[in-house]
Amino acid sequence: MSASKISPLSTLSAPLRLALFDARVTAPLLVALLYYPEKLRELLPERVHPLITSRAVIRTLSILLGLSILRGVNGKLSQWSANNWKKDAKFVKSQELILISGGTSGIGKLMAEDFARRGVKVVILDLNPPKAALPSGIHFYQCDVTSSERIAATAAQIRREHGHPTVLINNAGIGTGLPILDSTEQIIQKTFEVNTISHFWMVREFLPAMIKRNHGHVVTIASMASFMCASNIVDYGCTKASALAFHEGLHQELRARYNAPNVRTTVVNPTWIRTPLIEPLTSHPKFTDKVLEPEDVSTAVVDQVLSGRGGQLVLPTSMSLLSGIRGWPTWLSIGLRNKVSDVAKGLDGIDVEAAKRDDRDPERWANFRKQT
């Protein structure tokens, strides 16, 4: 497994960020400055002694501690509200069945393998068979998730052979990076069918059993594009904004309509993920955004499911503030979109066939061409 590329600056600044923004560090430090200054003078070099009694230092640490505590309280409140003020659901590996759409490649494949390694049975749906033999505990079913009829037939077979899935991960997704006028009607329609509408068909088929037991988990793989749409990804961004709305509405219906508060819902909003499609963008000299490795996303999702906890995963967490961009001042949000769109010009020159060849799930386009 490849690891994320971490900049030297990020590595060197990690201790400082920990000291400034973690209450576990700022609280003891503040106590030491207030109540044990003489002890600190014995331990620290003489040149830093003036800082021990500096009101500015103490005031700054007090502010940072307060902000850290507020952030922690806010996080806990968000966690509890996302789980309907219930404790984490009990996840018994031997009793769970994970269903992942788009599971023979990319992030879906990584998630399936990770779950299987941890002792959980997995079912994967995909148009394309796996390229290699599946590890023990993973079962493949060929299915077009844009067809409600095919989903129903496949679901009946899964239930006969394995029982009812307890976790549904709507992971199947496509994208081309093509501007509106350079794309085609078929590509735009297919992008919506796979990235948004298939979520409805999958949930309508597999959610009733979860509601009946008041136990389960639905994971929606969305994107940072759910919050902010830029050039070259308009169709993709629209589908991911829809996926976010789907997650929010599903959570409300489970609570208010179906009285199933223990059926968890999670939405995942990752930033750029390293794929051949965005290579022209990430190699652009002005591109400075964080790029995730596929393993970053798959591991976060698996850990979330195993925790028995629902919520929202913005990846990396350092970009969580972007989830509220639509509430920012107009000039600021437009300025950020302008910046991303200007860099997205690095995608210029990608034609339809190149996009089909280099999409993050490239083998899926073979089936796409047959259907369109």
- Find the catalytic residue in 109, 121, 141, 236: 236
My answer on whether 33 and 142 are in the same domain is no
**Each residue of 147-183: pLDDT tens digit?**
999 999 999 999 999 999 999 999 999 888 888 998 8
236 is catalytic: yes
- Find the catalytic residue in 109, 121, 190, 240: 240
What CATH number is associated with residue 180? 3.40.50.720
Query: For residue 355, what are the CA distances in angstroms to 16, 104, 368?
Result: 42, 20, 12
Give the model's pLDDT for residue 136.
Answer: 92
Query: For residue 181, what are the CA distances in angstroms to 12, 232, 247, 277, 278?
Result: 45, 10, 30, 19, 19
My answer on whether 141 and 279 are in the same domain is yes
My answer on whether 55 and 145 are in the same domain is no
My answer on whether 205 and 334 are in the same domain is yes
**Each residue of 63-88: pLDDT tens digit?**
888 888 888 888 888 788 888 888 88
- pLDDT over 90 (residue 372): no
370 is catalytic: no
Structure tokens given for 268: 């995942």
My answer on whether 18 and 130 are in the same domain is no
Where among 62, 82, 102 does a domain terminate?
Answer: 82
Asked if residue 151 is part of any domain, the answer here is: yes
Cα distance between residue 16 and residue 23, in whole Å = 13
Query: How many domains is the chain built from?
Result: 2
Lowest mean pLDDT among 7-16, 77-86, 162-171, 192-201: 7-16
Provide the domain limits for residue 69.
9-82
Cα distance between residue 346 and residue 344, in whole Å = 5
My answer on whether 195 and 268 are in the same domain is yes
Asked if residue 76 is part of any domain, the answer here is: yes
Asked if residue 194 is part of any domain, the answer here is: yes
